[in-house]
Chains A and B, each alone.
Chain A
């Protein structure tokens, strides 16, 4: 599920949540049997099997057994009886994305994991993807594509990219319809409840994503045709409140989520900064700082974004964020490098030297160490 698809699906959120609140019944199907290879569904599975072999070997796959098992367990609790058929792969790509292929291969991208605040929010996205899988939407769409004589073109695209690229292409080629997104969301809410998660967290994922979209230049959702029918803030809030009132409760497991992802968060933040999408990153990081104001890595990351954008007063904002990170303690060593680079630019030689020394003391083998050492030599002259 790419971010835009999730947002598009979110447009239908009010309707589906209202339906769920009204007690719309959905029965979980029996486990999906592997289709015969000679059938079109069998061919689709075979294609996905080949992609999965590549994904398993891909250098983009995050191979940490503990984190993998943790996310796999979330997917299993949502998928219940379908657990043995769901195989989660964590993919190191700093974008909001998750998807599930018809053969049970599920990708969860690190950009999504950075953006969710708790287990329940991740469960909302994973549950939605399992919803597509259980409803066999990919097969429906394959038939639709074939009926439009676009299948050859699709296959041509599919053969040209690597594993992760293939799945991204697949997602775009198999863009689900609005009705399919509604159905997947509805199933996702049912799965969340079944696993004991608070479904209201699904709406928060949507709210958080909208913050980033709105921050992007030209990203006003009201001017985007895709959002033309999305419910107003008030309507959405009322719908979520109504759902919470009809079926209150459920856990979000925020503490467990934060603990499990803590060892990876700095790398995910660095990847986010490197995207160079300053406005989106600032919206994301400001939200994370408001949510968790004692985490120095968020201040460091936002400082890096400000320093990279280097607009009017951005360097002042960067300095303030670096100082906040240092004030909190346990800051990433690169905080001192960022600080030193700005101090050097502003001819504050003594402060710059001190910052660079602290950086090199903490990271003596830093890849940019030779450059920083040359700055120190120049500052000493």
Chain B
């Protein structure tokens, strides 16, 4: 995470990471996740976040909105960068909600950041039975205290998820309403 945080702005400055405007309206993430946006978002195209799509309102140092569409059984939710010594975070289609939450927790804390679960509850997502996660994260790289929310569902053995996090002071509250609206609008195509 620390390396990603350091590398991403550098890539942006160097023009290596393209920024694309996601216009309001309906948009499809991957092949099967359809969401409706009330406002525009910025999509940052970087390799080291795949398979997630990375969106932001304020810039990735401030807020990150990660969208996962159709993660297959055995597929990693975050790249290891070819480093075999790094732990991999692979989704299994038979994972229970608490295991999926643990998978994302592990991914978010792989740099030593501190995660605290605030709430884990069953909620429909994408028109499917799913669950919702609320959490707090203290980012190791800069000690910033973040709030986060995520929605998850599994369809035909594939994982669909959205995960938003931002500094708990001001920024999270500023944008979480839009994220909740996006979560409510989500549909997973059969």
Q: A residues within 8 Å of B by Cβ?
A: 54, 57-60, 92-93, 95, 160-165, 168, 218, 274-277, 308, 310, 341, 345, 367-368, 370-371, 374
Contact = CB atoms under 8 A, between A and B. Distances in A.
B121 A371 contact: yes
Given A95-B112, A277-B87, A165 B117 contact: no
B143 to A, nearest CB: 4
A164 B119 contact: no
B102 A308 contact: yes
Contacts of A274: 102, 105-106, 109, 115
Contacts of B131: 371
Contacts of A345: 96
What 7 A-B pairs are tightest by C-beta distance, nearest first? A370-B121, A368-B120, A162-B143, A276-B106, A374-B122, A162-B142, A367-B117
Contacts of B120: 367-368, 370-371
Contacts of A161: 2, 141-142
B37 to A, nearest CB: 28
A341 B99 CA distance: 10
14 contacts: A59-B145, A160-B6, A161-B141, A162-B142, A162-B143, A164-B143, A165-B141, A168-B112, A274-B115, A345-B96, A367-B134, A368-B98, A371-B97, A371-B122
Contacts of A59: 114, 138, 143, 145
A168 B142 CA distance: 13
Given A274-B109, A308-B102, A371-B121, A165 B115 contact: no
Interface in B75-124: 84-85, 87, 89, 92, 96-99, 102, 105-106, 109-110, 112, 114-115, 117-122
Contacts of A277: 87
A276 B87 contact: yes
Given A161-B2, A161-B141, A277-B87, A60 B114 contact: yes
B32 interface: no
Given A59-B145, A367-B120, A368-B120, A218 B85 contact: yes
A165 B120 CA distance: 30
Contacts, number: 75
Contacts of A58: 143
Contacts of B175: none
A115 to B, nearest CB: 16
B22 to A, nearest CB: 29
B36 interface: no
B140 interface: yes
Contact of B141 (A93, A162, A310, A368): A162
Contacts of A160: 6
> Which of B6, B97, B121 gathers most chain A CB within 10 Å?
B121
B142 A165 contact: yes
B124 to A, nearest CB: 12
Given A60-B114, A161-B141, A345-B96, 5 more contacts: A60-B140, A160-B6, A162-B143, A274-B105, A374-B122
B96 A341 contact: yes
Contacts of A310: 92, 99
B61 to A, nearest CB: 12
Contacts of B145: 59
Nearest to B106: A276
Contacts of B139: 162
Interface in B9-50: none
Interface string B55-80: 00000000000000000000000000
A164 B106 contact: no
A308 B131 CA distance: 19
Contacts of B99: 308, 310
Nearest to B101: A368
A316 B84 CA distance: 29
A162 B117 CA distance: 23
B87 to A, nearest CB: 6
